[in-house]
A and B are shown apart, each in its own frame.
Chain A
Amino acid sequence: GAGVSQSPSNKVTEKGKDVELRCDPISGHTALYWYRQSLGQGLEFLIYFQGNSAPDKSGLPSDRFSAERTGGSVSTLTIQRTQQEDSAVYLCASSLVGGSEAFFGQGTRLTVV
């Protein structure tokens, strides 16, 4: 596709359920990022994939959060046993190489009720 695609755009889930958020980066982009943006807050880094290197998971807030990137393309962010504080907009971005201009998706708005 022409840009970074995220799905779903909105997700409402019950507390304690697991959710999966998907990101389709721009074709050929080797770097992929996940960020979280809570209401009125800035961007919180979650995880960074660069090619075949081990991902930088330093931003994941707890072991309930995990992410994978299959075949160097599509990425899935999984949140297990969701809590209300997980409610936020989850943003995915990709760039041609690490550190170059990043292109963002529209985000997934997650609401935990």
Chain B
Amino acid sequence: GNSVTQMEGPVTLSEEAFLTINCTYTATGYPSLFWYVQYPGEGLQLLLKATKADDKGSNKGFEATYRKETTSFHLEKGSVQVSDSAVYFCALSFTGTASKLTFGTGTRLQVTL
């Protein structure tokens, strides 16, 4: 079956540090890939997505590139802020009636001053 593996958290960084959260997937075929973010006390919301190989999703300074050869979709940001502290979830799906979103376990990011 389909699965998503994320790096263990929590990740603690100082403000303005570079962020990478690793995500790899296992799937038959070429899924769409997503990063969702859950800020403290809030619901999950879509951060960015990519629907085919070599696509780069970007939003709010975050980027992730769909790498078919390494089945990866690592999340990066060049300079994190305290307001980026949240839990980040990588997910995959195949568009279609039989599909559902499959999530990774989530990675908690804590950014300090």
- Chain A contacts to B: CB under 8 angstroms: 31, 33, 35, 41-43, 45, 48, 50-51, 53, 56, 91, 93, 95, 97-107
- Assess whether A100 is in contact with B89, with CB atoms less than 8 Å apart: no
- Assess whether A99 is in contact with B104, with CB atoms less than 8 Å apart: no
- Chain B contacts to A: CB under 8 angstroms: 32, 34, 36, 42-46, 49, 89, 93-106
- Assess whether B106 is in contact with A99, with CB atoms less than 8 Å apart: no
Q: A43-B89, A45-B102, A101-B34 are in contact. Are A53 and B97 (CB under 8 A)?
A: yes
- Assess whether A105 is in contact with B43, with CB atoms less than 8 Å apart: yes
Q: A33-B100, A42-B103, A99-B100 are in contact. Are A104 and B44 (CB under 8 A)?
A: yes
Residues of B within 8 A of A51 (CB): 97
- Assess whether A56 is in contact with B100, with CB atoms less than 8 Å apart: yes
Could you write out 18 A-B pairs with CB less than 8 Å apart?
A35-B103, A42-B103, A42-B105, A42-B106, A43-B106, A53-B97, A98-B96, A98-B97, A98-B99, A99-B32, A99-B95, A99-B96, A99-B100, A99-B101, A102-B101, A104-B45, A105-B43, A106-B42
